[in-house]
């Protein structure tokens, strides 16, 4: 239990303070989960704090308010989508976490219906709730649950899902509901692709599915291989359907996908056996589940039982406990990214967790490491964040060795030995040595990447060999490589040598915006590089331009201007440009003359303020990215502010934004919105 003391020990004033605190946290968690599709805590953490809030409100009912998370369903409707009003609300489900609570639910049902219970027992699919509406058998509208009363119109996106019939065999008016999900195999492939493209990966299949379905570009949704399981017929009696089992059978006849893993149960032993069977098999299923659902089978009884303000009284979800494993931390490794950010990773004894062997777990940043208190030789509990990414949950202090010493955060770069620093507003440590070997290798890998110079076959392992053997020290050296140089590399034969040299040679002809992006100039992304070269038409013209002229380009703000001016003023950079020019790398823009408009996105045309410490970006990097997307970033909160992005330890700006009712999102949510903008 998360509460610091028993409910009975709370005074009314203490309960009011605690309730207010829990509501703020839960609303933040819910916004991240439902609206941004980017969860910031594990489901178990949310569930525990939600139940604490329920318990306190039950003990102090006069403190219940209409805006409490216990009185509302789901999340907000994004402004990018047309609103759809649900004539019959799409409610969420109540949760239980033990067989004892499940038995209490059954007792309430028996007492209310005065008859033995019969349940349709189904798997709880980890996806996004959807509603599909048909007129004369034709699919005409699809929507998300939203806040339960109003959802988002995602009809065009749902039409790309093969599992959803566009035309029924019967010419009927119909509304059905169910779950849209992403199969595990599709999720793995999507994250592999995003990793190759240098994009942050999705935390779990549920959020990948939600993010994919809520795309403004239906082509992206079509590529994500989503699927559905339908389980509800709205107004089922109109179709001579009287039980949940009949509903599932009828849905299948109409051509919808239904989940075959369900039973009818009339006793607790059968339900328990079903729970145990699928709790042990969940890792082997091709889709994600997070529990088991019991629904009163008789639809007339469901109608009689009715709903509370938030949940149906006739169904309950038994949530599986989070899977954890204990292991011992033997080392903490620090890796350096292209921008110099240094990230800690726990190296542990291998353990089995959620169907895979885990030997490494992220520690995110120094603050996370120190908050968790991890030390070398500590026994720790690990879980998979979103069932995917291994992460340390807690240290088992009772098993800490007697001679244990606090872990000291490094002060020098593990690659080059330079002093590590904390830049303002950053949680991360950073190495600022531009000649740091780890950063140089990452920079070379970025230069060769698909969105930059697209040198096929020149990946991180080959880059490392070339650098370590002193064959390249910067990107210009790539164009001096010979067949004899490559012949010395591991596993390089004649065909590999020929292919790589051809790829390097072909990259010389790329349009210059690829080169500009590939140089890795801070705050200059692929879109900014294209806009700059569209305007100036060549790299030398851009280098010769003044700050005022560069600043006239729409969405190119002062942060990008300063980065460009600082970069090109560097003598080493000027020498690098001369070397690239000498080997005939193209410096001209070869694309169309007309500027590509900014793709519609969440941030476009908004006035935004950034506050607090950021983990994933520097303040300048995030400002540059937002400016590229058509936003205006300012330094102070006012009535004109549309959005506040709040990092850790946000202070007075956050308070002022709350008082002015400004929309507030955290860094995780902002990152998710950025990820959903098509390159």
Q: What residues are labeled active site?
A: 124
| C-alpha Rg value of the chain to the nearest Å | 28
Residue 119 class from Cβ within 10 Å (0-12 exposed, 13-18 middle, 19+ buried)? Answer: buried
User: Which neighbouring-strand residues pair with 609?
Assistant: 634, 644
> What is the DSSP annotation of 320-343?
PPPP-EEEEEEEEEEEE-TT-EEE
Q: Are 524 and 553 in contact (CB under 8 A)?
A: no
Q: Are 138 and 166 in contact (CB under 8 A)?
A: yes
The half-sphere exposure of 658 on its side-chain side, counting CA atoms within 13 A, is: 9
Q: 284 in helix, strand or coil? A: helix
Structure tokens at 669: 């949510």
Structure tokens at 577: 């440009």
CA distance 536 to 237: 67
Structure tokens at 237: 């009696």
CA distance 97 to 112: 22
The half-sphere exposure of 677 on its side-chain side, counting CA atoms within 13 A, is: 19
Structure tokens at 444: 């070379």
In terms of Cα–Cα distance, which of 454, 457, 453 is closest to 497?
457
In terms of Cα–Cα distance, which of 274, 421, 398 is closest to 341?
421
In terms of Cα–Cα distance, which of 187, 608, 661, 665 is closest to 673?
665
Residue 522 class from Cβ within 10 Å (0-12 exposed, 13-18 middle, 19+ buried)? Answer: middle
DSSP 163: T
Structure tokens at 477: 């050296």
Q: Are 310 and 329 in contact (CB under 8 A)?
A: no
CA distance 42 to 352: 19
- DSSP-derived pairing of the beta strands 643-646 and 607-611: parallel
Query: What would you measure as the largest C-alpha separation in the chain, in angstroms?
Result: 89
Q: Are 122 and 259 in contact (CB under 8 A)?
A: yes
CA distance 337 to 359: 21
Run of H or E including 233: strand 227-233
Residue 679 class from Cβ within 10 Å (0-12 exposed, 13-18 middle, 19+ buried)? Answer: exposed
Run of H or E including 43: helix 43-59
Structure tokens at 56: 């306190």
3-state SS of 643-664 is: EEEECECCCHHHHHHHHCCCEE
Residue 17 class from Cβ within 10 Å (0-12 exposed, 13-18 middle, 19+ buried)? Answer: exposed
The strands making up 663-666's β-sheet, listed across from edge to edge, are: 632-634, 607-611, 643-646, 663-666
């Amino acid at each position: 239990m998360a509460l610091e003391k028993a409910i009975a020990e709370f005074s009314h004033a203490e309960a009011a303070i605690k309730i207010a605190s829990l509501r703020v946290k839960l609303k933040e968690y819910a916004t991240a989960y439902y609206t941004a599709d980017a969860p910031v805590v594990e489901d178990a953490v949310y569930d525990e704090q939600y139940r604490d809030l329920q318990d306190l409100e039950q003990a102090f009912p006069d403190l219940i308010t209409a805006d409490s998370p216990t009185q509302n369903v789901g999340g907000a409707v994004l402004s990018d989508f047309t609103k759809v009003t649900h004539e019959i609300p799409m409610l969420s489900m109540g949760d239980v976490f033990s067989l004892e609570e499940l038995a209490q639910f059954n007792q309430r049902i028996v007492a209310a219906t005065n008859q033995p219970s019969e349940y349709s027992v189904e798997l709880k699919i980890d996806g996004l709730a959807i509603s599909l509406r048909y007129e004369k058998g034709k699919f005409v509208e699809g929507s998300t649950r939203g806040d339960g009363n109003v959802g988002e119109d995602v009809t065009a996106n749902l039409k790309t899902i093969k599992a959803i019939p566009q035309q029924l065999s019967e010419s009927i008016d119909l509304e059905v509901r169910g779950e849209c999900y992403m199969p595990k195999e599709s999720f793995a492939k999507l994250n592999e692709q995003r990793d190759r493209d240098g994009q942050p990966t999705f935390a779990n299949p549920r959020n990948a599915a939600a993010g994919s379905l809520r795309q403004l570009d239906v082509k992206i949704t079509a590529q994500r291989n989503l699927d559905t399981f339908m389980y509800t017929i709205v107004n089922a009696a109109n179709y001579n359907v009287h039980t949940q089992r009949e509903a599932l059978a009828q849905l299948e006849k109409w051509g919808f996908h239904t989940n075959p893993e369900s039973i009818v149960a009339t006793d607790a032993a059968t339900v328990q056996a079903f729970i145990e069977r699928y709790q042990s098999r969940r890792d082997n299923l091709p889709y994600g589940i997070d529990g088991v659902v019991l629904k009163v089978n008789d639809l007339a009884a469901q109608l009689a039982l009715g709903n509370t303000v938030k949940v149906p009284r006739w169904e309950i979800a038994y949530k599986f406990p989070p899977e954890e494993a204990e292991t011992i931390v033997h080392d903490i490794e620090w890796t350096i990214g292209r921008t110099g950010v240094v990230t800690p990773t726990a190296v542990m004894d291998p353990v089995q967790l959620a169907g895979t062997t885990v030997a490494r777990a992220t520690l995110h940043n120094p603050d996370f490491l120190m908050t968790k208190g991890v030390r070398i030789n500590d026994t720790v509990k690990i879980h998979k964040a979103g069932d995917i990414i291994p992460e340390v949950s807690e240290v088992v202090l009772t098993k800490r060795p007697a001679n244990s010493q606090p872990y000291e955060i490094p002060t020098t770069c593990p690659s080059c030995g330079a002093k590590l620093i904390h830049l303002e507003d950053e949680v991360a440590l950073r190495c600022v040595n531009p000649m740091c070997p780890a950063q140089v290798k990452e920079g070379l890998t970025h230069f060769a990447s698909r969105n930059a110079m697209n040198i096929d076959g020149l990946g991180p392992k080959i880059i490392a060999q070339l650098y370590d053997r002193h064959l390249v020290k910067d990107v210009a050296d790539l164009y001096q490589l010979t067949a004899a140089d490559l012949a010395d590399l591991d596993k390089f034969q004649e065909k590999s040598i020929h292919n790589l040299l051809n790829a390097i040679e072909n990259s010389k002809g790329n349009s210059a915006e690829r080169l500009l992006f590939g140089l890795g100039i801070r705050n200059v992304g692929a879109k900014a590089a294209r806009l700059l070269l569209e305007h100036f038409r060549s790299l030398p013209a851009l280098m010769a331009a003044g700050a005022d002229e560069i600043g006239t380009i729409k969405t190119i703000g002062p942060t990008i201007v300063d980065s460009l001016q600082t970069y090109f003023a560097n003598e080493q950079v000027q020498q690098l440009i001369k070397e690239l020019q000498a080997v005939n790398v193209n410096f001209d823009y070869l694309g169309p003359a007309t500027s590509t408009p900014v793709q519609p996105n969440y941030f476009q045309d908004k006035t935004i303020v950034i506050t607090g410490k950021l983990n994933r970006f520097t303040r300048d990097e995030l400002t540059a990215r937002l400016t590229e997307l058509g936003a205006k970033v300012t330094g102070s909160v006012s009535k004109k502010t549309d959005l506040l992005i709040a990092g850790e330890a946000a202070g007075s700006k956050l308070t002022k934004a709350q008082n002015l009712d400004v929309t507030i999102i955290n860094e995780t949510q902002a990152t998710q919105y950025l990820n959903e903008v098509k390159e």
